[in-house]
């Protein structure tokens, strides 16, 4: 099968967690994308400097993950 | 009671599949499905809203990916909760058209993220003034526009839709074309992650 499979491609391995960009992109999606219950999703993310925020979260996050 | 919402799908996708184990949630709790009309929501009863920790983020992502293996779903934002089943069913009924349209948009598709490279050391890189900050925002915007052009060039005809965020571009790509999309964009030296569930394409 030549299509990219979601599940087997990214197991929660240290390699995956260690990928900074992947973790930022995941956070961007989980926290700013997706269906919300009340109202439409109209977050104007184009105007927010998300990356800086994410990187701060990320630095702490990766440390924690590596510890545990 | 707190109900944690994981995803929305067509009712047929949410029905128990023969031979498939019941889907499980963040804390390995069994998920239940709340049907309403042609739609259903995957939810679980939880004690509290999940903590926003990296471990939980990853666990959540895995739950969503497992649900995606059953069929097309609209993932919920991390930590989306309701107090009652009624609240969720009412949402499904009220926004039925919106959700059906979104499900048809993302059917058989996955999302990729292409990012403008971050500054070398973001913790040291604070703007000195408001003007400087605004200039940077405009720079980023230009860079993202430039990125969009590059992606268009690299992945012509492969993206179903794109969405821009501050420094990145989300691309909706059919599963069948995902490998080719990755190969072509990476060949151009673009930083690509995915395939992700279509979080950025649930809203119009």
Among chain A residues, CA nearest to B52: A31
pLDDT on residue B166: 66
- Nearest to residue B98, comparing CAs of B67, B76, B74? B74
Residue A29 and residue B199: Cβ atoms within 8 Å? yes
Return all residues near B87 (Cβ < 8 A) that are at least 6 apart: A37, B3
User: Who among B7, B193, B203 is closest to A22 (CB)?
Assistant: B193
Query: Confidence band (pLDDT; 50, 70, 90) for A2?
Result: very low
- Asked if A33 lies within 8 A of B182 by C-beta distance, the reply is no
Surface-to-core class of residue B30, CB atoms within 10 Å of its CB (0-12 exposed, 13-18 middle, 19+ buried): exposed
Q: Which ipTM did the prediction report?
A: 0.82
pLDDT tens digits, B52-84:
888 888 899 999 999 999 999 999 999 899 999
Q: Say yes or no for a CB contact (<8 Å) between A25 and B164.
A: no
Query: Number of A:B CB contacts under 8 A?
Result: 141
Calculate the alpha carbon distances from B43 to A4, B7, B12, B14, B63 in Å: 27, 7, 16, 11, 11
- Per DSSP, the three-state class of B74 is strand
B194 with B112: CB under 8 angstroms? yes
Question: Are residues B41 and B8 in contact, defined by beta-carbon separation less than 8 angstroms?
Answer: yes
pLDDT digits (tens, 9 = 90+) for A3-48: 344 433 443 333 344 467 788 888 888 888 899 887 543 343 443 4
Cross-chain CB nearest to B166 (options A23, A25, A50):
A50
pLDDT score for A19 = 63
Contact B113 A48 (CB under 8 A): no
Whole-number average pLDDT of chain B: 88
């Amino acid at each position: 099968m030549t299509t990219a499979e979601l599940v087997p491609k990214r197991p929660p391995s240290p390699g995956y967690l260690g990928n900074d960009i992947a973790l930022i992109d995941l956070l961007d999606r989980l926290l700013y994308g997706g269906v919300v219950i009340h109202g439409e999703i109209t977050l104007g993310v184009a105007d927010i400097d998300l990356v800086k925020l994410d990187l701060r979260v990320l630095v702490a996050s990766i440390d924690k993950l590596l510890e545990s | 009671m707190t109900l944690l919402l994981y995803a929305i799908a067509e009712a047929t996708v949410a029905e128990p599949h023969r031979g498939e184990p019941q889907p499980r949630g963040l804390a390995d709790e069994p998920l239940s499905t709340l049907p309403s009309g042609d739609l259903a929501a995957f939810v679980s009863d939880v004690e509290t809203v999940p903590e926003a920790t990296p471990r939980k983020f990853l666990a959540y992502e895995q739950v969503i990916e497992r649900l995606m293996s059953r069929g097309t779903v609209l993932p919920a934002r991390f930590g989306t909760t309701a107090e009652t089943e009624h609240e969720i069913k009412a949402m499904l009924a009220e926004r039925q058209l919106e959700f059906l349209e979104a499900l048809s948009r993302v059917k058989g598709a996955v999302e990729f993220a292409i990012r403008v490279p971050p500054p070398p050391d973001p913790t040291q890189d604070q703007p000195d003034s408001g003007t400087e900050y605004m200039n940077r925002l405009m720079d980023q915007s230009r860079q993202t526009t430039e990125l969009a052009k590059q992606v268009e060039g690299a992945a012509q005809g492969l993206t179903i839709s794109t969405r821009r965020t501050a420094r990145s571009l989300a691309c909706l790509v059919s599963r069948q074309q995902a490998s080719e999309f990755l190969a072509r964009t990476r060949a151009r030296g673009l930083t690509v992650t995915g395939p992700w569930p279509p979080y950025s394409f649930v809203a119009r």
